[in-house]
Amino acid sequence: MQRDEAVYQRQGFGAQLGLHGQIGLLIIDFVNGFADPAVFGGGNIPEAIRATVPVLAEARRRGWPVAHSRIVFADDGADRNIFALKVPSMLTLTEQAHISAIVPELEPAEGELVVRKTVPSAFFGTGLSSWLTQRSVQTLLVAGAVTSGCVRASVVDAMSYGFRPGVLADCVGDRALAPHEANLFDMGQKNADVMDSERLFETLAPFTA
C-alpha cells in the first residue's frame, strides 16, 4: 500500500479538502437488513453502526443538517430497475419491510431528511442535493453501508455536486473487508477526505457548538 500511495502522491492525488463552512451529515442505508449478516450485512457493518451513534449525537448537538437514506422499492416491484436486475433481493426492501427500516439506534429525529432511493447513490433522482444546498452545507460527512457500493456512489455524486465529502472510516462498513479497504483508499485519493470519528472530534474540539 505504501508503494501505491507513493505513486498517487507523485501524480498529485490525495489533496486534503478540509472542513469548510456549514457541515452536514449523511447516513447511508444503515437499515436492519444491512445490519443483519443473514440478509445484506456482515463484515464490519455492526461496528460501523456503533461508531456512528456518537457522531449522530454530536451532529444533533451542533445543529448540523442530517440526512438518512434507505433503499425502498414498490411493494409490487413496479419500479424495478437495473440495480434490482443485478441484485434481485433488493426488491425485498419495501416501505413497510422490517429490513428496510433504519436501525433503532440511528432512528431519524424530527427535521432530519429521509431519502428513499432505488439505486446506490443517495443523490440520483432525489432531492438531497437541493436540501443540502438550501441549508448551506459545504462539507458533507458520510457514514453508512456499504463502503464499496452505496457509500462510494453517494460520495462521488456529492463531490460532483460541489460538496466536500468527508468519509468517516470507522463509520462506514461493508460485508467484505477487502472492498471496504480498497474503496476507502480510492475515495481518499480521488473524491473525499477519509478520517475516523476520533480524528473528527479532535478537529472539532477547539470549536464550540
- How far apart (Å, rounded) are the C-alpha atoms in residues 70 and 58? 22
* DSSP one-letter code for 62: H
The three-state secondary structure class of 161 is coil
Percentage of the chain lying above the pLDDT 90 cut: 94
Q: Is 171 a catalytic residue?
A: no
- Which bin fits 144, alpha (ψ -120 to 50), beta or left (φ > 0)? left
Does the global pTM surpass 0.85? yes
Q: Which residues contact 74 (CB under 8 A, 6 or more apart)?
A: 94
User: What is the structure's pLDDT at 209?
Assistant: 60
- Return the domain boundaries, the chain: 21-71+103-204
Cα–Cα distance between 155 and 161 in angstroms, integer?
10
Work out the average pLDDT over 79-89.
Answer: 98
Q: Considering the domain delimited by 21-71+103-204, tell me its CATH architecture.
A: 3-Layer(aba) Sandwich (3.40)
Instruction: Extract the C-alpha cell encoding 204.
Output: 472539532
What is the mean pLDDT of the segment spanning 2-23? 91
Q: State pLDDT tens for residues 132-166.
A: 999 999 999 999 999 999 999 999 999 999 999 99
| pLDDT value for 1 | 61
Write phi, then psi, for 16 (nearest 5 degrees): -85, 135
Report CA Rg, the chain: 17
Phi/psi of residue 95, nearest 5 degrees: -55, -45
176: CB partners within 8 A, 6+ apart: 42, 43, 148
Tell me how far CA of residue 200 lies from CA of 30, 61, 137, 141, 178, in angstroms.
20, 15, 17, 10, 24
From 93, 146, 150, 172, the catalytic residue: 150
